[in-house]
C-alpha cells in the first residue's frame, strides 16, 4: 500500500476541500447561506489541523461577500482577513492573486470592506497593485495613492560584479520586506488591522533589534553555501571571508577575556600585577560585558565602515579606528541594557491605547525613564574605549587573511594568503600619522560588494512616529539610546542641558523636535522607477557614476626630464583619485537606493535631534530630506492634500524655483512653467527616451519629481481637486542677514533680504556683485592692473558664497579662498594671478557688505568683542589657573542653554597594541580657545536664532494643521498650504524679534558673568601706568591679587560651573576701580567695541623683538561689556500689518513663555 507523504497528504486534503467549497460558493450566490461553507472551512482546521491555502481563503472571502446581511458579511470578511494575517503570516496579496476565483469587482468590494491600502501589498503582485491604485483614487481617502501604474520593482544591480552585494543591508531590512518573518505581538493590539500602530511598532522593534545578528547570519550562510559547493572551486564571497575572520577571532577574544579575569582575581588576592596586566585591570571588566561573538562582529563591521575615511585612501587613521570600535562596543552594551528595560514596549501595555493618547504615552515613558537611567552605566572612560578598540583590531589584523591569485610566467596560477590589513605611517598636512591600510584585493571586494556597517538598522527611517522627547536623553528611537543634542563630547554642555531638562525648560524644544519627527514620508515611486532603470543600466547619469568607469591613463613620457615624469605621475594619481571617488559615490547611492526600495510602500518617519547651536537634523544619516538632490527627489509627504487654485500656482512656482528660475517675480516664474509645459509633459512621459529637458538643471531629480506632480495635476479631471504630496519649498533669503537686520533695525538691510514684502524678491548676491563691479570699474579707470583683468567678469556666483558666509563669521582668508575657487572657472584669467585677484576681490566684497549692512556689522562687532572679553575672564570663585578662562554661554529664546565647546583640548598618549595614539579625553579640563570662542560666537548666535525661528514655525504649523519639514532655512509644506505657512513664518519671525533680543543677551551676560575678572595691562611708563597704579593703591584693601597666584589645583567641571559671589574684591570698590581704569587707559576704552587687547599685546611683543623692552603693570577688574550699538529705525513689528493673510493667534507658539532673563525667572546658571 502506498502512503502519501505528510506534505502531499496535506496538499491533497486542501485540494478536496477547495473543490467542495467551489461548488458551495456557486450555491451561496443564490441562497446567501454561508453556514455550509463555514462548516467545511472549520472542519478542515479542526479535524486535520490544516488552515488552508490562498485558494481556500479566496473562496471563503467570495462566499462571505454574498451573505445577505451586510453587517454579518463585513464581520465574516474581516474575520478571515485577521485569521490570514495572524496565522498564515503571508502577504495578503496572495489571496487576491487568485483571479480565477475573484473578479475585479469582487476584489474592489473586498478592498473597501477590509480597508486595505496597496502599501500592504508586495511588489510582485503587479496586477493587484495597479488595481489598488485605481481603488485608492476612487476611495478619495487622501491615503498614499499611485498616479502611475506601478510595475514590478526589479532588484538593484550590484556594483561592478555579481554577488550577494548588499545582502547584509537587505537582511537587516527583513522586517520591511519579508512577510514570513516572526513578529512578536499582542493580539489585542491588532484590532485595527495590518496598519495599526502596534504592528508597525512590532516591526520597528525588530528593525532596531536586528543589527549584529543579521550580519553574522549572512556571513555564516554565505560561508556554508561555499563549503557545500566545494569550497576552493569557487571564489569566496566577501561575507564568506568575513565569517572566516569572525570564527578565528572568537577563541582569541575568549583567551583575552580569561586573561582579564585572572588579572582581576590576582589583584583582588593582592598578587603582583605587571604593566601589561595592569592595563587589563582598567578595561577587563568592560570587555566582559558583551559576548565574544558580538565583540568580533562589531570590530569587523566598524573597520570596514571606516575604510577610505578621514582623507586616507584605502584605509583609515589608527586613532580614529581604535576609538570608533571602542565607542561602538559601548553603544551596543547601552542598547542591550535598554532592551532589558523596554517595559513600555512590553505585552502588558496596550500600544494602540497609549499611542492614541499622547499624554498617557508620555506618562508611561516618564515612569520607566528613572529606572532606565538608573540601570544604564555612565559613559565609559576614553582610555578604556581606546584599549578595547586596540585589542579587538589587533586580533582582527592577526587573523584576517585574504587570497591573492597571481600568474606565473608559465601561465600557472598560484594562490596564497596575505594579510587583509596592515599598519603603517604616512604624512598628512606635514604630520606623521599612524594608519591602517586595506589590501588591494579586499578593496576590490568592497567596491563590488559594498558593506557599510554604519548603515545600522538603528539608524534607518522609522515605521512609527518617533518616541516623543521627554528628557535630554530620551526620545527618537525606541531601543537605541539617543540624546537631544549632539554635544561634541562637551561635558559642560551636557551638564547645562541635563539641568535645563530636569527643570522642564526644554518643553518647547522637545515639542518642536516631535513635530519634525511626526512628519510622515513616502518614496516617490515614479522617480524611483526612473532611478532604478538608470542604475541598472550601469551608465553615468544625473550625478550617478558609471558602474565601470572608463579609465584612460596618459602614456608615460618619452622624455627623461624628471619634471615631465613628475607631471605624468600627478596626472595618473588624479585620475586614480577621480575613479576612486566615483566608486565611493556609487556605493553610497547603492545604499540609498536599497533603503528606498525597502521602504517603497511604507509610511516612514525621521527622528530629529539638535546640534549644539540648536539646529535640527534627522538622526538617520544616509537617507533623509537633508540629503542630496537624489534623496530629495525620492521623497514625498505620505499624506496627500487637495491642491486647490493657490496650491496649483505654488506648484508651478516651485518647479521654476527648482529649475533655477528663482530670481524673477512670481508671475514670471509661473509664466516660465506654463511656457515649458511641453517639456514638462515630455519629461514625465518619457524621462529617459524623450528630450530629457529635466536634465538641464542643477537639481535634475527634484525637477523630475516636480514634472511628474504637475503633469498628474494638470491631466486629472479637475486639477484643483488633485491630491498632491510633493513638498513645496520656501527658501529664506540669506537668513543670517535677515536676523542681523532685525536685531540692528537696519532698514536698508531689511529691504535687501526681503523682510519688506515685494512681488519681485531682492537678490542680495546680485546687489553685492553690482557694487563690486562698480568699484572694479572705478579702479580700472585709475590704472589698477588687477581691476583691469577683472573688468566685466564679476558675476553673481563669484560673490555668493562669501556673502552667505560673511554673516556667519568667514575670515578674510576664507573669503579669499572661496573667491579663488570661483575665479578658477574663468579661463581668460591668467593662472598665476588668481591668488592676487582673489585677495583684491575679497577686500572689495567685505567693504561692499559693510556699506550695505551697517547695522549688521555693528552687531557682529559687538558680539565679537563680548565673546573676546568673556573668554579672557575667569570665575574667581572656582579659580585654579589662568589657562582655563571661560566659555561663552547663552540661552536661546526657547530656553535652550548653549555652551560653545571650543577648548584647547589636551591630548593624552596611550600605548596600544598597534601604536601609541594621542586621544582627547572630554573628562579632562582644558583651557578655552579664546580666538575660536570669539570668532565663532557671532555665527553661532545667529544660527541659534535661525533654529529658534524654525522650531517656533514647526510648532505653529502643526497647531494650524499643516505638514511641515525643514532643511535649516528652507521650509517645506504641501502646495495647498504654502500661503498659510508663509504667514506663519512671518508671524513667528515677528514674535521672535519683537522682544529686544540683544538687550536680553546683554542682561544675561551681566548676570551670568557677575563677579568674573579680566586682566588688563599697560607699559609702566606714561600716564596709563599712573592711572593703574593709583587704582591699585585705592583698591589694595579689596583686591587680593595674591589669590590669583596660588598653586594650581585640579579643576572639575563642577567647580568651573559655579557662579557664586565675588571672593576677590568688594563689589563697590572694584567697580569704582574698574571705572577709573577704563577712563584712564584710552586703548582699552569700553565704548570702543572694536578694541582688541590681543593686538596691543602683539605691539608690545614687537617692541620687545626690536630691543625696546617695556615693563608692564597689571590689574584685575570686573568683567564689563560694551554698550549695545544704537538700533536703527526698522521695526520688525510693522511686518504684522503687512501679512497678506491672517492665521488664528492660538496657532502661534510664543518662545517667551516663562523666560524673563532678569526681572522674573532667572536664566539657567549652574551653581
Residues carrying an active site annotation: 731, 800, 969
Distance from the first to the final alpha carbon of the chain:
91
Give the cell for residue 1080: 584712564
- Cell of residue 772, nine digits: 563690486
SS (H, E, C) 343-401: HHHCCCCCHHHHHHCHHHHHHHHHHHHHHHHHHCCCCCCHHHHHHHHHHHHHHHHHHCE
Cell of residue 148, nine digits: 502611475
- 28's enclosing H/E stretch is helix 6-31
Q: What are the CA-CA distances from residue 619 to residues 168, 456, 479, 608, 616 (Å)?
A: 21, 12, 14, 5, 9
- Cβ-proximal residues to 1068 (8 Å cutoff; 6+ apart), any chain: none
Contact 699, 683 (CB under 8 A): no
Q: Over the Cα atoms of the chain, what is R_g?
A: 34
Alpha-carbon span 533 to 156, nearest angstrom: 9
Find residue 1012's DSSP bridge partners: 875
CB contact burial 789-826 (16+ within 10 A = b; e otherwise): bbeeebebebbbbbbbbbbbbbeeeebbbbbbebbeee
What does DSSP say about strands 608-611 and 485-486: parallel, antiparallel, or unpaired?
Answer: parallel
Judge contact between 807 and 734, C-beta under 8 A. yes
How far, in Å, CA of 44 to CA of 14, rounded?
8
Relative to beta strand 608-611, strand 616-618 is antiparallel
C-alpha triplet 724, 628, 824: angle, nearest 5°: 130
∠ at Cα 939 (938, 940), nearest 5°? 95
Residue 586 in contact with residue 158, Cβ under 8 Å? no
Nearest residue to 793 via CA among 833, 758, 734: 833
Q: Torsions phi, psi of 13, nearest 5?
A: -60, -45
DSSP string, 439-508: -HHHHHHHHHS---TTS-GGGSPBSSPPEEEEETTEEESSSS---SEE-TT-HHHHHHHHHHHHTTTTHH
As a whole number of angstroms, the distance between CA 552 and CA 576 comes to 10
**Burial of 378: CB neighbours in 10 Å, binned 0-12, 13-18, 19+:** exposed
Nearest to 1138 by CA among 755, 737, 762, 663: 755
Residue 64 buriedness (CB in 10 A; 0-12 / 13-18 / 19+): buried
Please give the angle made by the CA atoms of 516, 517 and 522, to the nearest 5 degrees. Answer: 100
The C-alpha atoms of residue 869 and residue 1007 are separated, in whole angstroms, by: 15
**3-state secondary structure (DSSP) of residue 317:** strand
Identify which of 299, 330, 307 has the alpha carbon closest to the alpha carbon of residue 399. Answer: 299
d(Cα 979, Cα 689) in Å, to the nearest integer?
37
- Would the CA dihedral through 1079, 1084, 1088, 1089 be positive or negative? negative
C-alpha cell at 662: 528663482
Q: State how far the Cα of 147 lies from the Cα of 1161, in Å rounded to an integer.
A: 54
Amino acid at each position: 500500500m502506498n502512503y502519501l507523504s505528510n506534505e502531499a497528504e496535506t496538499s491533497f486534503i486542501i485540494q478536496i476541500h477547495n473543490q467542495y467549497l467551489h461548488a458551495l460558493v456557486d450555491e451561496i450566490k443564490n441562497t446567501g447561506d454561508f453556514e455550509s461553507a463555514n462548516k467545511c472551512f472549520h472542519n478542515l482546521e479542526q479535524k486535520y489541523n490544516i488552515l488552508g491555502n490562498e485558494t481556500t481563503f479566496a473562496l471563503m472571502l467570495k462566499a462571505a461577500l454574498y451573505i445577505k446581511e451586510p453587517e454579518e458579511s463585513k464581520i465574516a470578511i474581516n474575520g478571515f482577513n485577521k485569521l490570514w494575517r495572524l496565522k498564515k503570516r503571508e502577504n495578503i496579496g496572495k489571496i487576491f492573486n487568485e483571479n480565477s476565483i475573484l473578479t475585479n469587482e469582487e476584489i474592489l468590494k473586498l478592498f473597501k470592506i477590509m480597508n486595505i491600502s496597496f502599501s500592504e501589498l508586495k511588489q510582485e503582485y503587479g496586477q493587484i497593485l495597479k488595481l489598488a491604485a485605481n481603488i485608492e483614487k476612487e476611495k478619495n481617502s487622501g491615503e498614499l495613492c499611485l498616479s502611475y501604474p506601478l510595475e514590478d520593482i526589479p532588484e538593484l544591480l550590484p556594483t561592478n560584479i555579481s554577488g550577494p552585494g548588499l545582502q547584509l543591508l537587505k537582511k537587516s531590512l527583513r522586517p520591511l520586506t519579508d512577510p514570513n518573518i516572526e513578529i512578536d505581538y499582542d493580539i489585542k493590539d491588532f484590532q485595527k488591522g495590518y496598519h495599526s500602530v502596534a504592528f508597525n511598532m512590532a516591526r520597528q522593534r525588530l528593525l532596531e533589534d536586528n543589527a549584529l545578528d543579521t550580519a553574522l547570519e549572512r556571513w555564516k550562510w554565505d560561508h556554508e553555501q561555499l563549503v557545500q559547493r566545494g569550497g576552493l572551486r569557487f571564489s569566496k564571497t566577501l561575507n564568506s571571508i568575513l565569517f572566516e575572520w569572525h570564527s578565528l577571532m572568537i577563541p582569541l577574544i575568549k583567551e583575552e577575556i580569561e586573561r582579564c579575569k585572572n588579572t582581576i582575581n590576582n589583584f583582588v588576592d593582592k598578587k603582583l600585577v605587571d604593566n601589561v596586566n595592569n592595563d587589563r585591570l582598567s578595561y577587563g571588566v568592560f570587555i566582559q560585558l558583551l559576548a565574544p561573538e558580538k565583540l568580533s562582529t562589531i570590530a569587523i563591521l566598524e573597520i570596514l565602515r571606516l575604510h577610505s575615511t578621514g582623507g586616507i585612501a584605502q584605509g583609515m587613521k589608527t586613532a580614529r579606528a581604535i576609538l570608533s570600535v571602542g565607542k561602538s562596543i559601548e553603544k551596543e552594551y547601552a542598547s542591550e541594557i535598554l532592551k532589558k528595560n523596554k517595559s513600555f514596549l512590553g505585552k502588558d501595555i496596550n500600544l494602540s491605547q497609549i499611542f492614541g493618547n499622547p499624554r498617557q504615552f508620555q506618562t508611561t515613558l516618564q515612569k520607566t525613564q528613572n529606572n532606565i537611567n538608573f540601570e544604564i552605566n555612565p559613559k565609559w572612560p576614553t582610555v578604556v574605549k581606546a584599549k578595547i578598540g586596540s585589542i579587538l583590531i589587533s586580533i582582527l589584523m592577526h587573523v584576517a587573511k585574504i587570497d591573492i591569485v597571481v600568474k606565473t610566467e608559465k601561465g600557472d596560477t598560484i594562490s596564497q594568503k596575505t594579510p587583509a590589513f596592515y599598519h603603517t605611517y604616512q604624512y598628512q598636512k606635514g604630520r606623521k600619522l599612524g594608519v591602517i591600510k586595506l589590501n588591494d584585493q579586499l578593496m576590490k571586494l568592497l567596491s563590488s560588494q559594498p558593506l557599510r556597517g554604519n548603515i545600522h538598522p538603528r539608524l534607518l527611517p522609522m515605521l512609527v512616529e518617533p518616541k516623543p522627547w521627554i528628557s535630554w536623553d530620551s526620545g527618537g528611537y525606541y531601543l537605541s539610546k539617543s540624546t537631544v543634542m549632539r554635544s561634541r563630547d562637551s561635558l559642560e554642555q551636557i551638564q547645562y542641558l541635563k539641568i535645563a531638562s530636569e527643570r522642564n525648560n526644554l518643553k518647547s524644544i522637545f515639542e518642536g523636535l516631535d513635530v519634525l519627527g511626526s512628519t510622515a514620508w513616502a518614496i516617490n515611486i515614479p522617480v524611483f522607477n526612473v532611478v532604478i532603470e538608470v542604475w541598472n543600466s550601469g551608465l553615468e547619469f544625473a550625478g550617478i557614476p558609471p558602474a565601470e568607469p572608463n579609465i584612460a591613463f596618459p602614456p608615460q613620457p618619452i622624455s627623461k626630464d624628471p619634471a615631465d615624469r613628475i607631471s605624468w605621475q600627478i596626472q595618473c594619481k588624479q585620475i586614480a583619485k577621480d575613479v576612486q571617488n566615483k566608486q565611493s559615490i556609487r556605493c553610497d547611492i547603492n545604499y540609498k537606493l536599497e533603503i528606498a526600495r525597502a521602504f517603497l510602500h511604507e509610511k516612514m518617519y525621521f527622528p530629529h535631534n539638535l546640534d549644539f547651536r540648536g539646529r535640527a537634523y534627522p538622526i538617520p544619516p544616509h537617507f533623509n530630506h537633508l540629503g542630496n538632490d537624489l534623496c530629495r527627489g525620492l521623497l514625498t509627504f505620505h499624506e496627500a492634500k487637495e491642491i486647490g487654485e493657490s496650491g496649483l500656482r505654488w506648484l508651478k512656482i516651485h518647479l521654476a524655483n527648482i529649475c533655477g528660475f528663482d530670481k524673477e517675480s512670481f508671475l514670471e516664474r509661473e509664466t516660465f512653467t506654463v511656457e515649458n509645459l511641453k517639456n514638462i509633459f515630455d519629461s514625465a512621459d518619457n524621462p529617459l527616451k524623450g528630450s530629457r529637458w529635466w536634465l538641464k538643471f542643477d537639481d535634475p531629480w527634484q525637477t523630475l519629481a516636480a514634472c511628474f506632480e504637475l503633469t498628474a495635476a494638470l491631466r486629472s479631471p479637475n486639477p484643483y481637486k488633485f491630491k498632491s504630496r510633493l513638498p513645496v519649498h520656501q527658501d529664506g533669503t540669506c537668513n543670517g542677514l535677515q536676523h542681523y537686520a532685525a536685531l540692528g533695525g537696519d532698514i536698508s538691510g531689511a529691504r535687501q533680504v526681503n523682510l519688506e514684502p515685494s512681488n519681485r524678491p531682492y537678490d542680495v548676491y546680485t546687489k553685492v556683485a553690482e557694487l563690486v563691479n562698480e568699484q572694479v570699474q572705478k579702479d580700472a579707470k585709475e590704472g589698477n592692473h588687477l581691476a583691469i583683468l577683472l573688468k566685466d567678469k564679476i558675476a553673481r556666483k563669484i560673490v555668493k558664497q562669501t556673502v552667505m558666509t560673511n554673516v556667519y563669521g568667514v575670515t578674510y582668508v576664507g573669503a579669499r579662498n572661496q573667491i579663488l575657487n570661483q575665479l578658477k572657472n574663468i579661463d581668460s584669467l591668467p593662472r598665476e594671478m588668481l591668488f592676487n585677484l582673489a585677495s583684491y576681490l575679497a577686500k572689495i566684497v567685505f567693504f561692499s557688505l559693510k556699506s550695505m549692512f551697517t547695522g549688521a556689522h555693528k552687531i557682529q562687532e559687538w558680539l565679537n568683542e563680548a565673546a573676546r572679553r568673556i573668554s579672557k575672564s575667569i570665575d574667581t570663585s572656582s579659580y585654579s589657573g589662568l589657562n582655563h578662562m571661560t566659555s561663552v554661554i547663552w540661552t536661546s529664546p526657547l530656553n535652550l542653554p548653549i555652551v560653545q565647546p571650543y577648548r584647547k583640548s589636551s591630548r593624552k598618549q596611550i600605548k596600544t597594541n598597534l601604536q601609541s595614539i594621542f586621544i582627547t579625553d572630554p573628562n579632562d579640563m582644558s583651557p578655552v580657545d579664546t580666538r575660536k570662542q570669539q570668532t565663532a560666537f557671532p555665527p553661532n548666535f545667529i544660527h541659534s536664532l535661525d533654529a529658534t525661528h524654525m522650531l517656533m514655525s514647526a510648532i505653529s504649523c502643526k497647531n494650524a494643521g499643516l505638514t511641515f519639514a525643514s532643511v535649516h532655512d528652507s521650509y517645506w509644506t504641501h502646495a495647498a498650504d504654502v500661503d498659510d505657512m508663509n504667514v506663519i513664518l512671518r508671524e513667528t519671525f515677528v514674535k521672535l524679534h519683537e522682544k529686544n533680543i540683544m538687550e536680553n543677551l546683554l542682561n544675561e551676560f551681566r548676570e551670568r558673568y557677575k563677579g568674573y575678572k579680566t586682566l588688563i595691562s599697560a607699559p609702566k611708563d606714561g600716564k596709563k601706568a599712573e592711572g593703574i597704579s593709583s587704582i591699585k593703591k585705592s583698591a589694595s584693601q579689596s583686591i587680593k591679587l595674591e589669590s590669583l597666584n596660588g598653586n594650581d589645583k585640579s579643576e572639575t567641571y563642577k567647580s568651573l560651573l559655579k557662579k557664586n559671589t565675588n571672593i576677590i574684591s568688594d563689589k563697590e570698590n572694584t567697580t569704582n576701580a574698574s571705572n577709573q581704569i577704563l577712563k584712564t587707559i584710552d586703548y582699552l576704552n569700553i565704548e570702543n567695541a572694536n578694541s582688541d587687547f590681543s593686538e596691543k599685546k602683539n605691539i608690545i611683543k614687537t617692541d620687545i623683538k626690536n630691543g625696546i623692552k617695556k615693563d608692564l603693570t597689571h590689574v584685575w577688574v570686573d568683567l564689563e561689556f560694551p554698550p549695545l550699538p544704537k538700533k536703527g529705525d526698522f521695526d520688525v513689528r510693522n511686518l504684522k500689518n503687512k501679512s497678506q493673510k491672517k492665521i488664528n493667534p492660538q496657532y502661534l507658539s510664543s518662545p517667551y513663555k516663562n523666560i524673563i532673563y532678569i526681572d522674573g525667572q532667572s536664566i539657567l546658571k549652574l551653581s
